[in-house]
Amino acid sequence: MITTHPHPSEKIHHQVDRNRLLEEFRRLLPPASILTEAEALRPYECDGLSMYRCLPWVVLLPENVEQIQRIMKICSRHGVPVVARGGGTGLAGSALPLENGVLLVLSKLNRILELDPANRLARVQPGVRNIVVSEAARPYGLFYAPDPSSQIACTLGGNIAENAGGVHCLKYGLTTHNVLEVRIVTMDGELVTLGSGGLDGPGLDLLALMVGSEGLLGIAVEIAVKLLPLPEDTQVVMAAFDEVEKAGRAVSEIIAGGLLPAGLEMMDHAIIRAAEDFVGAGYPAEAEAILIVEFDGMREQVEEDLARALGLLDACGAYRLDVAATPADRQKLWAGRKSAFPAAGRISPDYYCMDGTIPRRFLAETLKKIADLSRQYGLAVANVFHAGDGNLHPLILYDAAKSGELARAEQLGGAILEHCIAVGGTITGEHGVGIEKINQMCLQFQANELQQFQAVKRAFDVEGLLNPGKAVPSLHRCAEWGAMHVHQGRLRFSDIERF
């Protein structure tokens, strides 16, 4: 039987005097760091999941850790909820603000604090963009492995919140596998260090708990990440297929053959055409599917792995195999894949990017299921995904100006996620849950499991003020399977079910 936990706080946020609260913030921050006018707030009303929007109550842009601590203490004292925001590139609505809450924007904390080549680590502030770390490390022959497609814009703080991945996560892992230490500020304003600069630290592994927690447990203010040596050699092959099923079988054969590509990406016909028109990557426009396979490491090993992969791809029915001859050619092949999301804007007024993960053996079956669902809901779907680890990114194409299409896109997305669960997968691989997938959390986990998640949340944030209503549903919500309380695009703290 599902039972609900009452929220422990008796504080009612709507009783807070906004002017009095702003006066406290003005004593702490310069005027340019406090945004209250609608025109200034508008850029922060959504993250990359732009179908949901909410004008924040107030936006604060602190410049140092001490200011963040004091902001959190003020908000905790008044019972005011706080949502943290990085680069705003998230695709699950995790950084959606509240109309009666503080949006804490960390973009001004954007310095690399330490680059330590000898110990192969970098210490950075949360507003540092992902790609900047590798750019800074390159002169030392090092790089930072996680590389989301949004790496030119996304920040390390946001990567921590969502446990971001990228096209090379098959070999090098997600953010959680590449972070050594995170300093966080709690809802009470305490500064806490999780992890250590070494390979292991004493006590419980709270660092792993923090990475991927979507801002529910604390605000990351300093991050130590691993740096890896640049590989001696890198080779990339683009394989074209006349059937999606053949490409799916090739993925399975490569992994079953004991090969570990640095990246193994798949794109279907619709997104191939869009990406080719957008960046001119050299993709065959007639192909039903392509694979982009990259190997890196010692030169002899790379050459051997590439030769074996070419044999497997040919045996699985690839009708065209292009091996990049130069670094520029490699970059060109990857440019099409990394531009897939913006390229979708060329073929549809709007698109909804999903993020689910399945066992690799169900690739072909899942693509067929998505095609069936596409016909059922009357909306086209373009597929691009990290095939090597089964992380799907179906792009549902719709037109928000047409009545009912947005609702159908959401329903189709939910059906795809439910299929992922049915075949033994998960509802997210790297984008997080946010508000987008919170209903499907009720299918992914049982009531007793959700209760444990809620207990962890309360251990860090007893009043439930950090990013409320995201990632973990209340048991009442699961019992009712209700829709998120969205009223004309606005979310209120009092509307959100708290644990």
- The predicted-structure confidence for 402-461, as pLDDT tens digits, reads as follows 999 999 999 999 999 999 999 999 999 999 999 999 999 999 999 999 999 999 999 999
Task: For residues 192-204, give the mean pLDDT.
Answer: 85
Q: Residue 30 pLDDT > 60, yes or no?
A: yes
Q: Residue 316 pLDDT > 70, yes or no?
A: yes
In this predicted structure, which of 9-23, 303-317, 375-389 has the lowest mean pLDDT? 9-23
Task: For residues 204-229, give the mean pLDDT.
Answer: 97
Q: Are 133 and 201 in contact (CB under 8 A)?
A: no
pLDDT of 382 reads: 95
Q: Residue 330 pLDDT > 70, yes or no?
A: yes
Burial class (CB in 10 A: 0-12, 13-18, 19+), 403: exposed
Q: Residue 485 pLDDT > 50, yes or no?
A: no
Q: Residue 483 pLDDT > 50, yes or no?
A: no
Question: Which architecture characterizes domain 348-422 according to CATH?
Answer: 2-Layer Sandwich (3.30)
- Using CA atoms, how far residue 473 sits from 67, 179, 237, 435, 442, in Å, is 31, 27, 43, 9, 7
Question: Which architecture characterizes domain 112-229 according to CATH?
Answer: 2-Layer Sandwich (3.30)
283 or 204: which leads in pLDDT: 283
- What pLDDT digit, counting tens, does each position of 334-383 carry? 999 989 988 998 899 999 999 999 998 898 889 899 999 999 999 999 99
Cα-Cα-Cα-Cα dihedral sign, residues 445, 53, 33, 175:
positive
Under 8 Å CB-to-CB from 156, ≥6 apart: which residues? 86, 124, 125, 126, 127, 128, 129, 130, 133, 220, 223, 225
- pLDDT band, residue 484 (cuts 50/70/90): very low
Q: How is the chain split into domains, by residue range?
A: 1-108+462-499, 112-229, 233-342, 348-422
Task: For residues 269-279, give the mean pLDDT.
Answer: 94
Pairing of strands 121-124, 219-226: antiparallel
pLDDT more than 70, % of the chain: 93
pLDDT of 1 reads: 28
- What pLDDT digit, counting tens, does each position of 72-129 carry? 999 999 999 999 999 999 999 999 999 999 999 999 999 999 999 999 999 999 999 9
3-class SS of residue 114:
strand
pLDDT of 409 reads: 96
What is the CA 296 to chain-centroid distance, rounded? 25
- pLDDT band, residue 180 (cuts 50/70/90): very high
pLDDT of 497 reads: 53
Name the DSSP letter for residue 129: B
- What pLDDT digit, counting tens, does each position of 231-271 carry? 999 999 999 999 998 998 999 999 999 999 999 999 999 99
Residue (of 164, 165, 114) closest to 140 by Cα position:
114
Q: Are 97 and 47 in contact (CB under 8 A)?
A: no
CATH 3.40.309.10 fits 1-108+462-499, yes or no: no
Q: Are 189 and 73 in contact (CB under 8 A)?
A: yes
- What pLDDT digit, counting tens, does each position of 119-160 carry? 999 999 999 999 999 999 999 999 999 999 899 999 999 999
- pLDDT band, residue 323 (cuts 50/70/90): very high
Q: Do domains 233-342 and 348-422 have the same CATH topology?
A: yes
Q: Are 467 and 215 in contact (CB under 8 A)?
A: yes
Q: Are 306 and 296 in contact (CB under 8 A)?
A: no
Task: Give the Cβ contact number of residue 326 at 10 Å.
Answer: 8
Q: Under CATH, which number does the domain 233-342 receive?
A: 3.30.70.2190
pLDDT of 12 reads: 38
pTM for the model: 0.91
Q: Residue 493 pLDDT > 50, yes or no?
A: no
In whole numbers, what is the pLDDT of the chain averaged over residues?
92
